[in-house]
Structure 1
């Protein structure tokens, strides 16, 4: 471990030294600054291009792009230059023969929309689908052919640093201790993995990955945040997109994104229907031992699953420009889904000599349905054009999820019912005040108020409820938060310091056994970010934040997953939150065709959640029953190194890659009393190294056919009770624009070699097991996209102020 740390620190020092040496100025330089805005609305234009050239030569001397505030900052040597300011579908402005002998602020530069380009297809080089910023990575979904006809889970599985396992669970840098936001608001779905599989990928604009959030964000999410931003059209007039898709296994869907924009009003809507069939399967081969260590018997479980889902997802909203500096957005989101599950498990029994002794089976057939409705409102008041603003957000939602299954077997019959209702309300206010040049003060309040009612019943073959497997959970959670932060820039250094306070009141009530538990706690969450600008193309940043993770979803739900009667899963409503101290040191360097970003990170977590497999003391036909359950284990420390590389060797070829290597050390033990009254103590100390890699290549072939190929690998990892084996997956896609570029046909294959299988070994005192699980087998998908009044790749115009991440930008 010490050698690993030394090597990583040495590499970072070498990179920093190279950055310093390359960024050393060769002559006295001056700064050219300014701000680019849209002439009518006065809104800042992000990604406007500034090019500085010598009047006597067409060769570019320097250049840059504007930040989210429309500002630019370019270094040049003194001289006389032509300055050109451009933005897609706007009339460019050129300042001729400008004499620049000292640092100069060009002030506000207003660009006017070019009406002649509104109905033309603008052919331009595509912006990279992965944009690297110092505080986050932004993944643009519209550029990715892999996810056409897919779901949000497919989108996230293509995002650098993010992984989605075969059960749909999302992790960041190898940790599932994260927070998922949708349009900057927390997702409170009862089953977030299932909710993400129901939301179509075509409704997503981009995904932000924030590994070390500042105080303006919720403190929840020990390893970071993932913010999913939904599409909101901005193009003038009436425009839209229709997408139809079909695939094997049986999958089909239809999505429409429509938008109508006038000078003061912008109507947007998304509606989609999808039907998906997921075929999967797995096995668990177990070997059992007597107390003296001799072999007792063997049990092989073979599992086949088929899950079908159909759902409707709709979103409609209105953005109203109340005044030139005031914007009010209201939207309603509605989602309804239903499905069927078939889960067949065959049990083959063997004696100590591995002679076959008999078999049984267990078939689970079920139906499920869910409905979610949410109303959101967002008000933005800009006091001036320098970033002084007030933002107010509010939302209310109601989510229901009903499941019923019938489990039949060789010797048993059970019926399970699971009904969940969750209500949520949120109010948030954020205030941003610029103070002088390059300084900014922020403050805000946020309140989350919710309750969950979950009724779970297991009935025997006589229809009588089995009390020890059934329960009614009432969970209420109220969180109030205040935050403030101050950022400023001095010379080449930028600073951002913040403090957040959160007060939490939780009630966990199990009504059937009169188990009432109240958890009250409040915490301060400081954050600090320091960035140093080595040159226009390279920066170093270091950051610290304190994070918290509250148990949610299946972690808390005491309902028993009863598909297998010898390998069961149950949530733990008595979990406590975990606290994490996060440190991150990053370096970013940009060349003409390459962007390189690397970071070393350290996370120190106490009361970390961990899944533990424990013998219950019961047996079924002589086979011990093993229960998997999350617990507060103890302490976990993670040290890792990550880098992301974007490479555009040619205009027709783009490559993105990501690599993550980390060491994790866990200390703790689990004590419990089994059904026989025996005290069991499990030592769960563990230390392991693991790594993951991902690469994506997009190439334009002859006849303007785009080809994309993605591959990812998650390395083997040792656990306290066994190990998880490595996993490899590869996807590919082809697309072709037709009908004068108004339509696109795309074909993709998910998991080409059918290798996305979770494989693991578990070692317990009287049992060893080997398991495989594949939630979804290889899939083929064909999609057709039709656009009207919306040219492919055109940059959205007249962008309204957004509040996707809940606050202002990092100064400087």
Structure 2
């Protein structure tokens, strides 16, 4: 269907809706919910409106901070239901509404039996299936006490975090990670997630096929991490202390004070972590006829110590009953002392030892991030009708200095190299979203988003006090993206539809100041999307989704200068790297059968101009050892197909099982051409063919058992299957985590003991083979087995507080349809 036809149909539906609404009489309904005993107003009470002639839900809203509710309905006869966790449900039936009506004060009272049930339900992670995403509201059954946000993500279905901290969604690393709906202001989002404590996370939104309201960035989809913020009146909070081995010590606290006029909140935390790891690379260098030229065995030990502070404070100001203005400031500071000890043993073609080299890298790192956020929400009289305006302004600095000592049996002299890698980044984001429900079956959305990034990298290398111009450089990167979007939602009986169109104008500047390489890339794209969901029964639905995505290269991927961590294995960016575009289709099925909940999905992604990381040999170092370069190139196209399912099963009240399985197939087509000068200054031209088909899979199962004395025992088992690529193979990885927790002090506190990677098996192993160049085996363990003990204390705050929050008509990124 052409865009012109789609717009015509949308306009016709819009006009039809307006005409239909004009023919129906509207009435305003209002009221107030209060506690029967204390007569205090009740906030967050769910008010559900049911049409009596067909028993269908026609509206739903939650009461405001004063217990009030109001909405607009067509004149008719309705039933009203008032629900609040821990309270008895109240119903008003056969309300004949012909004029504007006030239902008066609705009194609700506590239900002791219901309160007991709530505390059990609050312990488990629940999932909300929405038209364009899945929302995981985190419970105690995720083993993340004392961990970081990276540990949280590694427990979410469809998401994996590898040994280096790289995040993948359905096996695809081209995923956009947001925090509270906004990009992280840190230079490295993976590092930022390792600094945030797991206890700060409220929920995770998994958006495998985003609609037009979201950024088009991220070919695999979007992960939105929503942090906690207090919602109950009065003064409340929590405090968590952590200790572990290897060193993992910290203290984190949240405080919240809320009144009818404002809400003050703060989060403060300090962590001291040690992350020992290692890597090995055994390489056989080949001649052009694939015979052996030489061998190098490389052993690397890492000792990383990080001391991090994370703090923020803010306030919600309730300007009136329908308008809230939120402002917050967040500050993160991390100091790292990293030591890397690398041994190189060199051998000739017959495996005879030739010489030994050692590189000792002592690195000091300091990172600072500061961010200011402002959010204004205006709710209009009609339920779901609202305007949201956001502004986010941040700056981050990353200072990294290293001293490298190089020893070799070929020389009695120890060379000393100094490196400096200073990065500064400014990010400004402005966004506005408008949501307009039209009657009971239609919804219109529109919005603007401007994302402006300026990043500067100053990299320098001194060899024995002399500047090395082959490595020293300055890179400036500027990204300005302006976007407009609109969406139109339709609900016809059991069929829900959402059509969207997003336009993004991109202006990218890559300025390699040192080598005078300047690239300015301007392009604009339309990103259509369409979502369909059909309710087969009350517990079963079928969905079909389509969206178009983009993945832009950034910073390190574009910088044409070499890194200096190793003199035989180097990384170099590619300033000519272009973005790639992905068309994504997803077919989903969800059903609930008694104690089982099954969610399945079949998906297909087609990517044009796909860019991938490649390795190749170019030239020799001063010792005559071949230099292996790693870089990114656009190789052609990629086809990715897959199937996944998530199964939740509760065989008994004391035992819950959650499992996730994903299998996928990746087909790439394209060639990589490159050239270099050999030791005799001869120009060597090479071509690598990247036509490849690979399949892989991963599986995860979570088990939570309540033992006697109300001790919770949690087990998490994960296996990432092996995967072939055009240059080798990544081997499978098995890992298991264990956790035990118990509530103490009348359920005001929790003690938890976790063992992460029980068998110390989370090691990434790879095989690489490039004919006529290299054959290598490598393995890497980013972090070894971790034992963590934590104590959490809650004051004036129930552990089940989150369960008292009803479903919303909207979320942080716009209206829900």
TM-score, with length taken from structure 2: 0.87
Q: Map 1:33-52 to 2 at 5 A.
A: 39=33
1:226 maps onto 2:228 in alignment: no
Structure-2 residue corresponding to 1:17? none
1:402 maps onto 2:399 in alignment: yes
Cα deviation, residue 404, structure 1: 0.4
- Measured in 2, the distance between the counterparts of 1:109 and 1:707 equals 48
1:123 maps onto 2:119 in alignment: yes
| 335 and 158 in structure 1: CA distance in 2 versus 1, 3 angstrom threshold | same
- Measured in 1, the distance between the counterparts of 2:90 and 2:806 equals 19
Is this contact kept in 2: 1:761–1:769, CA < 8 A?
yes
Query: 2:787 is matched with which residue: 761, 780, 785?
Result: 780
- Measured in 2, the distance between the counterparts of 1:238 and 1:221 equals 40
Cα deviation, residue 561, structure 1: 3.6
Structure-1 residue corresponding to 2:478? 476
- Measured in 2, the distance between the counterparts of 1:271 and 1:195 equals 15
- Measured in 2, the distance between the counterparts of 1:792 and 1:349 equals 59
Structure-2 residue corresponding to 1:688? 694
Is this contact kept in 2: 1:761–1:771, CA < 8 A?
yes
Is this contact kept in 1: 2:423–2:456, CA < 8 A?
yes
Structure-1 residue corresponding to 2:597? 595
> Which shifted more, 84-93 or 219-228?
84-93
Structure-1 residue corresponding to 2:157? 160
1:288 maps onto 2:285 in alignment: yes
Structure-2 residue corresponding to 1:770? 777
Q: Which runs of 5+ in 1 are unaligned?
A: 1-33, 53-61, 71-80, 101-105
1:181 maps onto 2:178 in alignment: yes
Q: Map 1:457-496 to 2 at 5 A.
A: 457-461=460-464, 463-496=465-498
Secondary structure at the aligned position of 1:194 is classed as helix
- Measured in 1, the distance between the counterparts of 2:297 and 2:750 equals 48
Is this contact kept in 1: 2:643–2:663, CA < 8 A?
yes
1:565-619 CA distances to partner (integer Å, 9 max, x unpaired)? 2112233333211100000000000123221110100000011120000112223
Secondary structure at the aligned position of 2:194 is classed as helix
Is this contact kept in 2: 1:251–1:277, CA < 8 A?
yes
Cα deviation, residue 113, structure 1: 7.0
> Which shifted more, 669-678 or 508-517?
669-678
- Measured in 1, the distance between the counterparts of 2:213 and 2:564 equals 41
1:793 maps onto 2:796 in alignment: no
- Measured in 2, the distance between the counterparts of 1:268 and 1:179 equals 28
| 261 and 721 in structure 1: CA distance in 2 versus 1, 3 angstrom threshold | same
Cα deviation, residue 684, structure 1: 1.3
Is this contact kept in 2: 1:298–1:350, CA < 8 A?
yes
- Measured in 1, the distance between the counterparts of 2:762 and 2:105 equals 51
1:316-373 CA distances to partner (integer Å, 9 max, x unpaired)? 1111111111111111111111111111111112222223333221111100001111
Cα deviation, residue 82, structure 1: 11
- Measured in 2, the distance between the counterparts of 1:505 and 1:781 equals 46
Cα deviation, residue 707, structure 1: 0.8
> Which shifted more, 262-271 or 552-561?
552-561
Q: Map 1:263-662 to 2 at 5 A.
A: 263-411=260-408, 412-461=415-464, 463-558=465-560, 560-619=562-621, 621-662=623-664
- Measured in 1, the distance between the counterparts of 2:807 and 2:735 equals 39
1:205 maps onto 2:202 in alignment: yes
- Measured in 1, the distance between the counterparts of 2:81 and 2:782 equals 53
Give the root-mean-square deviation of aligned CA atoms: 2.9
1:704-748 CA distances to partner (integer Å, 9 max, x unpaired)? 000110011111100100010001111110001111111100000
| 196 and 570 in structure 1: CA distance in 2 versus 1, 3 angstrom threshold | farther
1:174-215 CA distances to partner (integer Å, 9 max, x unpaired)? 111111111111224211111111111121111111000000
Cα deviation, residue 424, structure 1: 1.1
1:517-574 CA distances to partner (integer Å, 9 max, x unpaired)? 1010000000001111101101000010000111135323456442222112233333
Cα deviation, residue 673, structure 1: 2.0
1:255 maps onto 2:257 in alignment: no
- Measured in 1, the distance between the counterparts of 2:650 and 2:233 equals 32
- Measured in 2, the distance between the counterparts of 1:51 and 1:131 equals 25
Cα deviation, residue 144, structure 1: 3.9
| 295 and 499 in structure 1: CA distance in 2 versus 1, 3 angstrom threshold | same
| 615 and 111 in structure 1: CA distance in 2 versus 1, 3 angstrom threshold | farther
Q: Map 1:54-73 to 2 at 5 A.
A: none
Cα deviation, residue 797, structure 1: 5.2
Count of residues in Structure 1 that have an aligned counterpart in Structure 2: 748
TM-score, with length taken from structure 1: 0.87
Structure-1 residue corresponding to 2:21? none
Structure-2 residue corresponding to 1:9? none
Cα deviation, residue 491, structure 1: 1.9
Is this contact kept in 1: 2:200–2:228, CA < 8 A?
yes
Is this contact kept in 1: 2:123–2:141, CA < 8 A?
no
Cα deviation, residue 90, structure 1: 4.3
Is this contact kept in 2: 1:566–1:620, CA < 8 A?
no
> Which shifted more, 562-571 or 246-255?
562-571
Secondary structure at the aligned position of 2:815 is classed as coil
1:206-263 CA distances to partner (integer Å, 9 max, x unpaired)? 1111000000001111110000101111011100000000010111000001111111
1:703 maps onto 2:709 in alignment: yes
- Measured in 1, the distance between the counterparts of 2:79 and 2:440 equals 26
- Measured in 2, the distance between the counterparts of 1:629 and 1:43 equals 55
- Measured in 2, the distance between the counterparts of 1:587 and 1:313 equals 40
1:281-301 CA distances to partner (integer Å, 9 max, x unpaired)? 010011122333322221111
| 366 and 63 in structure 1: CA distance in 2 versus 1, 3 angstrom threshold | farther
- Measured in 2, the distance between the counterparts of 1:668 and 1:108 equals 68
Is this contact kept in 1: 2:48–2:61, CA < 8 A?
no
Is this contact kept in 2: 1:69–1:387, CA < 8 A?
no
- Measured in 2, the distance between the counterparts of 1:459 and 1:803 equals 55
- Measured in 1, the distance between the counterparts of 2:548 and 2:79 equals 48
